[in-house]
Structure 1
Amino acid sequence: MIDDALWQYLPNLLVILSIFTVGVASPGPATLMILGTAMASGRASAVALSCGVVLGSMFWASIAALGFAAAFKASATLFMALKLAGGFYLIFLAAKSLRSALTQKTCAAPMSAGTRSLGRCFSQGLLLHLTNPKAPLVWLATLSVGVGEDAPAAFLVIAVLLCAFVAMAVFVGYAFLFSTRTASRIYVSIRRPMDGLLGILFGAAALKILTYRLN
């Protein structure tokens, strides 16, 4: 009986994975941070950051799959607290990027993996996603598109795990791509304007989160 139900919902995986892939590959705070880390600190740091982002995403996926994300709509105080935490963290990242853009420091190549703690990079990625108040709502919307109310729990587990695989593939792919020697040389030549752009984009993302309203 369970196998029949799973087979019935398997085509819906294409819908879920399509929506999720477009969302995870599009420019956003996590993508921008992985990009900048890969070019500035190297592949290992960017992969560690990616793992943190994916873990944070899977946390919210689990919450959404269990139906707890609805609590954020019911609790204005909880949503406001999470929104402020995410917004101010992005403001911190924006300020850090803009300060780097104003410095004259130069480097011939990305820093070695040992220059930045991999644990710190992982924590940064995790914190970035855990403090994004839109994440549980986005996950709830993504899953609701391809999942009916009577969908078996096993299907939800499969959907979340496949999305985790897609996220890892996309983010680690970015980490490898932008940590190449070519990307390194490009980064050295455009570091300051790149950091300035990242600062502006992080600031815009913070503004978007701080002004985001539940329907």
Structure 2
Amino acid sequence: MDPWGIFATVMLLYLLAAMVPGPNLLVTVQASLAAGRSAGLSVVSGIILASMIWAAGSLLGLTLLFALAPWLYGALMLVGGAYLIWMGLGLLRSAWQPPRVQSDALAQAGLRGWRGARKGLLVNLANAKSAAFYSSLFAVSVPPDAPGWLIAALVAAVGLGAGLWYGSMSLLVTLRPIAQLYRRAERGLTALSGAVFMGFGIKLLADRA
């Protein structure tokens, strides 16, 4: 067993998967554009924590738990899908408001500080597909007899990778030229974000059926 080879393989696969647009990226971009860089980074902190929870759970037996009790995975998909749909509806409702009122409402609704972190945490945990991804990733990359230090390093590295990727996306979209473009199309983009969140939620519910 080559621990560093395993580490490099896991991180490469994780970063490639993180770059695929999904709920985590969407909520990071939406928060950053609507309520500023600090809001986006607050959301990212929640995504980091959730990513580490998924990674630790998968490495410590989450796959076995879902295999022994499939209803738990089904329940997670049901709750997660409902949450994403609820969040999408909130964004669609917000899109009907005037742009300035919309931005203020989003900022006050919990996109900064610990509330932003909570939103990032919930969005990541709501995506039950993350459980399947992490379980598959570690099943094919990490041997059962991997040392404890490697498991701890992988969990920490997943958190670091999430922070670097989503944090850089938050910083990128809040650059002045991009922020100015967003302001011109704020209502339409907010409505689009809401529709996409609802799509993710509906897909989770459909996959559960």
Q: What do the CA deviations read for 1:63-104 (whole angstroms, capped 9, x no partner)?
A: 11112332113213212221111001100111112122233x
Q: Does 1:72 align with 2:78?
A: no
Bigger fraction of residues in helix: 2
Q: What RMSD in Å do the two structures reach over aligned CA positions?
A: 2.4
Residue 16 of structure 2: aligned partner = 22
Structure 2 unaligned residues grouped into runs of 5+: none
Larger Rg: 1
Q: Does 1:34 align with 2:23?
A: no
- What does 1:1-215 correspond to in 2, within 5 Å? 8-103=2-97, 105-107=98-100, 115=108, 116-213=111-208
Greater Cα shift, 161-170 or 94-103? 94-103
Q: What do the CA deviations read for 1:19-44 (whole angstroms, capped 9, x no partner)?
A: 10011122101110110110110011
In structure 1, how many angstroms separate the alpha carbons of the residues matched to 2:32 and 2:107? 13
- Cα deviation, residue 114, structure 1: 7.3
- Cα deviation, residue 174, structure 1: 1.0
Distance 1:114 1:106, change over 3 A: closer
Q: TM-score, normalised by structure 1?
A: 0.87
Q: TM-score, normalised by structure 2?
A: 0.90
In structure 1, how many angstroms separate the alpha carbons of the residues matched to 2:6 and 2:202? 34
Q: What do the CA deviations read for 1:125-172 (whole angstroms, capped 9, x no partner)?
A: 111122222222211111122212222222121122112111100111
In structure 2, how many angstroms separate the alpha carbons of the residues matched to 1:203 and 1:37? 17
Structure 1 unaligned residues grouped into runs of 5+: none
In structure 1, how many angstroms separate the alpha carbons of the residues matched to 2:52 and 2:45? 10
- Cα deviation, residue 213, structure 1: 4.9
Distance 1:16 1:213, change over 3 A: farther
Kindly indicate whether the alpha-carbon contact (under 8 Å) linking 2:24 and 2:47 is maintained by their aligned counterparts in 1: yes
Identity of aligned residues (%): 26
Kindly indicate whether the alpha-carbon contact (under 8 Å) linking 1:51 and 1:168 is maintained by their aligned counterparts in 2: yes
**Counterpart secondary structure, 1:69:** helix
Name the aligned partner's letter for residue 119 of structure 2: Q
In structure 2, how many angstroms separate the alpha carbons of the residues matched to 1:85 and 1:114? 25
Name the aligned partner's letter for residue 97 of structure 1: L
Name the aligned partner's letter for residue 179 of structure 2: S
**Counterpart secondary structure, 2:185:** helix
